[in-house]
Amino acid sequence: MGTPKIYWRVLRPSGILSQPMKIEACAILAALLFHSLSVSAQQGETAAAAGFSKDIAPILTKKCVACHGPEKSKGRFRLDTFEFLMKGGESKSASVVPGQPAQSELFRRLTARDEDDRMPQKDDPLPAAQISLIEQWINAGAKFDGPDPKAPLVTLIPRAPHPEPPSSYHHPVPILALAFNPDGTELAAGGYHEITIWNPNEGTLLRRIKNVAQRTHSLDYSPDGALLAAAGGSPGQWGEVAVFNPTNGARVRVLGAMPDTALTVSFSPDGSRLAAGGADNSLRVYDVGSCRLPGAAMERASPRPAATAPLGFTTQRRAIWKRATPVIKGRCLRWRSAGTASGFTPPGATKKFTSGTQRKGRKPARLEASTMTFSNCS
């Protein structure tokens, strides 16, 4: 709304306002006041528009988590979750002081002129627009708007529909996942932002399922063939576990997001639950109908496998892992560790596997089936 124009009308030569003049002056003052309030409201809406999940988490995930995450935390400072972000690191300065950007170590580091102090290091400074969003968010109280402050930031970011797959492929692309439907009449194959369904007997393409993650690493049909689960994502960025209708290609629901690529999925024998393993060294069991995680995810056991992927459930419908502190205990039918599929030996025996990372090297380890505890092999 533009600034109101003021018109003066002299009704009588005296300095006393007439009744019509009083009414007109009041109207002018009201218009000016309304304009001022509108501008203030617009400014307030702009500041309030900086939400943590949709504005701040994407910036931190893309630019900061690589150096301040679970695998590497410079200055003993992690910000891969909201809880860690607010805790700060080894510096005595508070990482975020609600309402005070200038007193917040995070904001000071992002705006530092010295390249040795500025974050992200060895990279271009954040654009002014992103700096402004972070400043607005802190000024507004640094509020959390997600469901769980302990959840990885990548799981809080609202996801837009995936890009369309190419209409045709000019070069072959890796196929990382295959799955037959229960009666063997159809074969699902992972592609680039799509899943293709084939007639295995004739080798013909039946249909293409869209709105799929960039890479699909694992596919599994429900026991009745009504659902098709897909695990995938973008390596090093995020992962998701989604369920599709294999007949019409509709995406039924996304069960969960991960901070790194989802590597595998497996339906329980009755189809009510879905196990998923990811490159973040975690195992999750989802309730297919409600998308809930009935139990805590198993993460970063010691010794830690480079990539953990469950391959099946027990017939007794036990959860793959049961978490207990300080020792992680559980039951597992089969899993893949360091890229090798393996199965548990009978109760009372010992299962050996490799653990560690490519960077630090893998070492033999074992899990005692009787006690379900990890230990290093001598």
For 22-50, write each residue's pLDDT tens digit. Answer: 555 455 555 555 444 444 444 444 445 68
Mean pLDDT of the chain: 74
At 305 the pLDDT is: 34
Across 149-281, the runs of DSSP E, i.e. the strands, are 178-180, 187-190, 195-199, 204-209, 215-221, 228-234, 238-244, 251-258, 262-267, 273-278
Q: Is the previous residue joined to 303 through a cis bond, with omega within 30 degrees of 0?
A: yes
This prediction has a pTM of 0.62
The mean per-residue pLDDT over the stretch 335-339 comes to 38
How far apart CA 40 and CA 23 sit, in angstroms, is 26
At 178 the pLDDT is: 96
Query: pLDDT grade, residue 102 (50/70/90)?
Result: very high
- As beta bridge partners, residue 361 has 357
When comparing pLDDT for 187 and 156, which is higher? 187
Terminal C-alpha separation, the chain: 77
289-313 pLDDT, tens per residue? Answer: 875 654 444 443 332 333 444 445 5
At 321 the pLDDT is: 42
pLDDT at 350 over 60: no
What percent of the chain has pLDDT above 90? 38
